[in-house]
Amino acid sequence: MDKKNRNILAFLQEDATLSVNAIAERVSLSPTACWKRIQKMTQEGIIRKQVCLLDSKKLGVGVTVFVAIKTNHHDLQWLQRFAAGVRDMPEVVEFYRMSGEIDYLLKVLVPDIQGFDTVYKKLIKIVELFDVSSSFAMEELKYTTALPLS
């Protein structure tokens, strides 16, 4: 990946609504050359999709909860059932299988504690879990969707 592609990606990460002409001008390329680079990075899967970022507080889901899950089940059938159930929960915005003492980590957005209790009850219905530990974020100190491009 050359510097021009990294610069194109940096501009797209900052504002995906920029026109190809605007990006081309900022990275010193012709619009056609810039468009071809964007298309190639899209075809290669470097650019997965372009989305609109929303304000969770203004949409009534301003409480962020990190949920650490431990299980005694480590078979593929259990994982497939658990993963499918969690993926169907719109409140879960991030979902990871972890190394170390925690088996799974979820980031959940809800309107309030009662909203999380509803999510918790859905979680424990999916499969048997050994331990569920929840931490409520008190303050967001940094949030970005931009990947480091250096």
Looking at the structure, tell me whether residues 92 and 127 fall in a common domain: yes
Please write the tens of the pLDDT for every residue from 9-32: 999 999 999 999 999 999 999 999
Any domain includes 146: no
pLDDT at 58: 98
Any domain includes 49: no
Instruction: Print the domain residue range for 94.
Output: 63-136
pLDDT at 150: 84
DSSP string, 53-109: ---TTTTT--EEEEEEEE-S--SHHHHHHHHHHHHT-TTEEEEEE-SSS-SEEEEEE
Looking at the structure, tell me whether residues 32 and 72 fall in a common domain: no
d(CA 106, CA 97): 9
Number of domains in the chain: 2
Q: Which residue stretches of the chain have pLDDT < 50?
A: none
Looking at the structure, tell me whether residues 75 and 119 fall in a common domain: yes
Looking at the structure, tell me whether residues 74 and 106 fall in a common domain: yes
Looking at the structure, tell me whether residues 88 and 127 fall in a common domain: yes
Any domain includes 127: yes
Any domain includes 142: no
Domain with residue 108: its CATH number is 3.30.70.920
What's this model's pTM, rounded to 2 decimal places? 0.90
Looking at the structure, tell me whether residues 92 and 129 fall in a common domain: yes
Looking at the structure, tell me whether residues 39 and 80 fall in a common domain: no
Looking at the structure, tell me whether residues 68 and 100 fall in a common domain: yes
Any domain includes 150: no
